[in-house]
């Protein structure tokens, strides 16, 4: 038996899908700027990449405000409790139809492994990619700011690309894990409608 609970609020769903779209745009244009392929041209790719970056920063500013005014920031507090059970489930249990060791609730939307992954994203990957991206964007002002002797554009670009590979890996792992619900599209449907089906006898 299962029950339907309203997990994802309207703004949360808007933020999720808007962020996903902007990240996809930044991945496509970013790797074109890197020279991996030619799609819309270098100059247009740079402009679109920069525009998407500013849009995402604006979205994050609103989202941080929303998280703290609603208390939703607590959803991301890390915990190592039951991390072992989650790792065992994703590496073995999911392939032998074992029951999921975590039950979503309105107050606990993310399992312990997800919380640690989001912590890594917020504490390491995001500062790396945003910090290097901002330095890269304002390269023309380095001399005026007096930092041109201490920074190498090549190193900034290399670290930015490293961050891009990390966020790309995170993105595809995240997409894969959305298919691990009781049906292949259950988690995606929940992020569209806000309603999640959970096992009553979990």
CA distance 202 to 200: 6
Asked whether the beta carbons of 101 and 85 are under 8 A apart, the reply is: yes
**How many other C-beta atoms can be found within 10 angstroms of the C-beta atom of residue 149?**
8
CA distance 75 to 83: 16
Q: What separation in angstroms does the CA of 189 have from each of 30, 94, 116?
A: 29, 20, 24
How many Cα atoms are found within 13 Å in the side-chain-facing hemisphere of 93? 14
3-state SS assignment for residue 194: coil
Tokens describing residue 107: 């107050």
Q: Residue 101: what pLDDT?
A: 87
Q: Per residue of the chain (202 residues), what is the pLDDT tens digit? A: 568 889 999 999 999 999 999 999 999 999 999 999 999 999 999 999 999 999 999 999 999 999 999 999 998 888 888 899 999 998 899 888 888 888 888 888 999 999 999 999 989 999 999 999 999 999 989 988 888 888 889 999 999 999 999 999 999 999 998 998 888 999 999 999 999 887 655 4
Q: Residue 202: what pLDDT?
A: 47
- Reported pTM: 0.88
Q: Residue 1: what pLDDT?
A: 59
Nearest residue to 191 (alpha-carbon basis) of 2, 3, 10, 4:
10
Q: Residue 40: what pLDDT?
A: 94
């Amino acid at each position: 038996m299962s029950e339907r609970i309203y997990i994802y609020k309207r703004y949360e769903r808007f933020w999720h899908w808007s962020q996903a779209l902007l990240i996809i745009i930044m991945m496509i244009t970013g790797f074109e700027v890197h020279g991996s392929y030619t799609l819309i041209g270098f100059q247009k790719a740079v402009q679109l990449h920069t525009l998407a970056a500013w849009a995402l920063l604006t979205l994050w500013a609103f989202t941080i405000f929303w998280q703290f005014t609603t208390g939703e920031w607590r959803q991301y507090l890390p915990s190592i409790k039951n991390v072992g059970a989650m790792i065992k489930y994703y590496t073995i249990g999911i392939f032998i139809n074992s029951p999921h060791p975590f039950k979503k609730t309105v107050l606990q939307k993310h399992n312990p492994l997800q919380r640690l992954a989001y912590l890594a994203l917020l504490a390491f990957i995001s500062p790396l990619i945003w910090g290097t991206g901002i330095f890269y964007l304002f390269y023309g002002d380095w001399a005026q700011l007096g930092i041109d002797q201490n920074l190498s554009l090549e190193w900034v670009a290399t670290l930015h690309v490293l961050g891009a590979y990390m966020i790309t890996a995170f993105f595809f792992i995240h997409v894969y894990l959305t298919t691990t619900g009781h049906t292949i599209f259950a988690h995606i449907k929940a992020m569209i409608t806000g309603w999640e089906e959970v096992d009553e006898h979990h």
